[in-house]
Amino acid sequence: MESSSSTRQLLWFFAIAVCVKLLLIPAYHSTDFEVHRHWLALTHSLPLSNWYADETSPWTLDYPPFFACFERFLSIFAHYIDPQIVDLHNGLNYRANSAIYFLRISVILSDLWLLYGVYRLTKNADVKRRYLIWVLIVWSPALVMVDHLHFQYNGFLLGWLLLSISFLQEGKDLMGGFLFAVLLCFKHLFAVAAPVYFVYLLRHYCWKGLVRGFSRLSVLGAVVVAVFAAAYGPFLYHGQVTNSH
């Protein structure tokens, strides 16, 4: 009963934040708006083998492969909303209302992943701490300004981090490490947290005696390698890995 009530309260927090974000749709946006629109066009129009080689715009794709795949996924819907959004050669600096609304709403919807991360992280917290985390993250002015004015998908990416931490919090270290590896293949800047993860997982997951510890370290290493192989393997095959950082 308490869990159901907590979920409803979190949804209300999120709904209020969404109302503010909807009001900001026609507001200022930076050049990052055109960057992401171009990436939609690039991933939609070109084969995977050319994603990191394209130079039809100054805004070359410079995020890791999983984020490129995320853009490709969004481009499927963008094509049905307005084909010019994903027109690689004629869509440069395209700012029709259809493009603005689609891209803005895609950021708002991607925040559902942030919401899920917040929910998992706080579901067992006491009421005071839970509300504090909700306010700091769901109502974060910084995220509103960077994502919903300037234009980014940081809330979506932060959701992966929170989800990873929630699994570590539950003692599911391997899943937490897996999700962090996935996050690194979405945005490389989260690598600043990698040393913290490495020390924590080494001490908490692998430090179980010589034989068992080595076995767990091998499993953890295999999981991380598998994630990076899935992300970078196709681009390495096509000789693009130096650009997909």
Clarify whether residues 213 and 104 are in a common domain: no
- 116 and 197 in a single domain? The answer is no
* pLDDT for position 223: 97
Same-domain pairing of 117 and 139? yes
* pLDDT attached to residue 29: 86
Domain shared by 63 and 122, yes or no: yes
Q: Annotate 18-36 with b (16+ C-beta within 10 A) or e (fewer).
A: beebeebbeeebeeebbbb
- Same domain membership, residue 158 and residue 176: no
Residue 240 CB partners (closer than 8 Å, separation 6+): 49, 51, 52, 53
Give the domain range for residue 235.
Answer: 171-245
Separation CA 197–CA 211 (nearest Å): 22
Our count of domains for the chain comes to: 2
Q: pLDDT for 16-40, tens place per residue?
A: 999 999 999 999 889 999 999 999 9
Sign of CA dihedral 222, 224, 227, 233: negative
Give me the residues of the chain with pLDDT under 50, please: none
What angle separates helix 65-81 from helix 97-122, to the nearest 10 degrees?
Answer: 130
- The whole-number pLDDT of residue 210 equals 81
- How would you classify residue 151: left for phi > 0, otherwise alpha for psi between -120 and 50, otherwise beta? left
